[in-house]
Amino acid sequence: MPIACAHIPRFAVEVERQRRSDIATRSVLIGEGGVFDYSLGAETSGVRRGMRMSEAIGLCHRAVVLPPDLPHYQRRFDGVLDFLGVPDPEVAARPSTDVLNKALKGLYAKEVPYSAAPPLAGSNFEELKELALLDAKTHNFAEAWDAGYTGTGVTVGVLDGGTDFGHPDLIGTWQTWSGLTGSRAAWNGWPKAFDPFGTLQWLAAPSQIDQGLSWYVKTTAVTCKDWANKAAQASCSVKFSTKTGPSRNFGAPTGTKQHTYLFPAGVSKSGNVRLGSHPDDYLLALFGERPAFLVTDSTTAGVFDTVYVDLDNDRRFDDEKPVTKASPVSYRDMDGDGYTDLSGGLLYFISDGVTRLPGGVDVFGGTFVRPPGETLAWTGDFDPAIGGHGTLTASNVVGQGVINGKAPCFEDLAEVARERFGHLLEAFEFGTPPHGGIASGLDRLCMVLAGAPNIREVIPFPKNQAARDMMAGAPSAAEAAQLRELHLQIVRHA
């Protein structure tokens, strides 16, 4: 019986073994030029170690050959697994339920409502700029500051994996529309945003928007019973089925969960509100369902202008931040330390029944006008698979090379990691060293300029003349499990 196989770069094998503990059970053959690793049962098809790859492919049921290009191998390999009919590879990479529950309990233990949290901490720029750390060096920020450039008046568009404007570096840094007339006049005052994928969904796959796979989100109308007889602080109770899937980034079966949600009657001028399922996949992974958001007509009946996102997923909106045109970012400082803990992204439009939706779709013709409050346009970090790269890029631009949040402490790493690499982890708490992908021998040049007797005098963690790193205690004896994984055996001579 032929097996399914894939040819990927040789350097990827160990990475894949570490990332996917069950890779040996998949029907995937890995090789480069020759067969050096193969799935269980491959021998039954005649595939054997050492066989030329071209010969092995002839014995495979389906084959996908990938060139050894480092920047793209991971996504292509994930695509191979999907092509071969295996489960979504990102499922195994998600945090366990225990880890998520522990994180939630930590947040809830210190929770304060949005209204009781202190103002967010300001930028650390003035106190840290003199240090000229990290990107301040690699991107020449310090030289620009010395030359009098501050970035004032400059607008930067980041086309990347999406930007989370709830990040401490990015609060208040978005650009807003102004001076628009005609069919786009209602955009004035809302943040500028471009959603190329959402635009494609409107044009070619609108069903994905209905499924909840877009940051353009449709809402459902609900009514607060007996609203006219309720006091402003009295609770309205409504039922809503929020989505539990699907997801754009990991396996989450299509489904819904119905809950009863509470909100103060006074946030609406009509008692008629709308609810939707928030599009952020980080929140879906955290809670196992999409937190709901509430859209209200807080000023004029029927004119939807305010949104509350249930960021703590407690099915009530009275402890959440009001999101408006004037304050369009959604976040919670759960423990009141002055830094955001949960983010609901940036709202850049609420449909009003007369205005075209922003975000890019309007330039392709058609009206794309949605009923009042029926569609919300959000923007945020929509691609968790690349580790927040869009947010990091935007932060690099407006954060001015300093950290406005908290530097990592690596407290979650195993003790064995601290024993082996503690000196590096402690150094990383002050920021990662700059690296531009070059090796121009700067350390040797520094040795010459400093008149040092040897290169070890100018290297942070030097090796001694026996090639040992005395701070890291390396090299150290390999563990038995490591030797088995690499098919090595230590033979001691008498």
Locate 208 and state its tokens. Answer: 């994905």
H or E element, residue 20? none
pLDDT of residue 68: 41
pLDDT of residue 98: 75
Tell me which residue of 244, 247, 229, 327 sits closest to 291, measured CA to CA.
Answer: 244
Q: What is the mean pLDDT of residues 416-420?
A: 64
pLDDT of residue 439: 46
pLDDT of residue 379: 96
Q: Where exactly are the structural domains of the chain?
A: 3-93, 182-398, 439-494
pLDDT tens per residue across span 164-216: 999 887 888 899 999 999 989 999 999 999 998 899 889 888 999 999 999 99
Tell me which residue of 359, 321, 315, 326 sits closest to 343, measured CA to CA.
Answer: 321
The answer on pLDDT for 38 being more than 50 is no
C-alpha torsion sign, points 358, 395, 213, 293: negative
Percent of the chain with pLDDT over 70: 64
DSSP symbol at 399: S
- pLDDT category at 437 given cuts 50, 70, 90 is very low
pLDDT tens per residue across span 302-349: 999 999 999 999 999 999 999 999 999 999 999 998 989 899 999 999
Tell me which residue of 304, 334, 310, 216 sits closest to 261, measured CA to CA.
Answer: 310
- pLDDT category at 482 given cuts 50, 70, 90 is confident
Q: Which architecture, in CATH terms, is 3-93? A: 3-Layer(aba) Sandwich (3.40)
Q: What interhelical angle do 73-83 and 12-19 show, nearest 10?
A: 60
Q: What is the mean pLDDT of the chain?
A: 76
Locate 180 and state its tokens. Answer: 């628009």
| Spatial contact of 461 and 472, defined as CB atoms under 8 Å apart | yes
Q: Whole-angstrom Cα distance, residue 439 to residue 227?
A: 69
* CA separation, residue 492 to residues 39, 220, 489 (Å): 33, 72, 10
pLDDT tens per residue across span 369-387: 999 999 999 999 987 767 7
Locate 247 and state its tokens. Answer: 């997801």
- 3-state secondary structure at position 329: strand
Q: Are strands 34-37 and 30-32 parallel, antiparallel or unpaired?
A: antiparallel
* CA separation, residue 53 to residues 10, 11, 16, 35 (Å): 12, 16, 19, 6
Which amino acid, one-letter code, is at 151? Answer: G
pLDDT tens per residue across span 293-303: 999 999 999 99
pLDDT of residue 13: 44
What is the distance of C-alpha 72 from the center of its chain? 18
The answer on pLDDT for 405 being more than 70 is no
pLDDT of residue 472: 67
pLDDT of residue 183: 87
Which ranges of 244-382 does DSSP label H, i.e. alpha helix?
281-287
Question: Rounded to two decimals, what is the model's pTM?
Answer: 0.66
- pLDDT category at 96 given cuts 50, 70, 90 is low
Q: What is the mean pLDDT of residues 223-231?
A: 96
pLDDT of residue 367: 74
Through-space distance between the first and last CA atoms of the chain, rounded to whole angstroms: 48
pLDDT tens per residue across span 131-146: 655 555 556 677 777 7
Instruction: For 151-213, list the strands marked E by DSSP.
Output: none
Exposed, middle or buried by CB within 10 Å (0-12, 13-18, 19+), for 470? exposed
For residue 140, give every residue at least 6 positions away whose Cβ sits within 8 Å of its Cβ, in sequence order, or none: none
* CA separation, residue 453 to residues 147, 167, 384, 471 (Å): 37, 47, 48, 21
pLDDT tens per residue across span 253-303: 899 999 999 999 999 999 999 999 999 998 998 899 999 999 999 999 999
- pLDDT category at 122 given cuts 50, 70, 90 is confident
For the ranges 29-33, 159-163, 256-260, 460-464, the lowest mean pLDDT is seen at 29-33
pLDDT of residue 111: 93
Cβ-based neighbour number of residue 103 at 10 Å: 13
Locate 297 and state its tokens. Answer: 């007509």
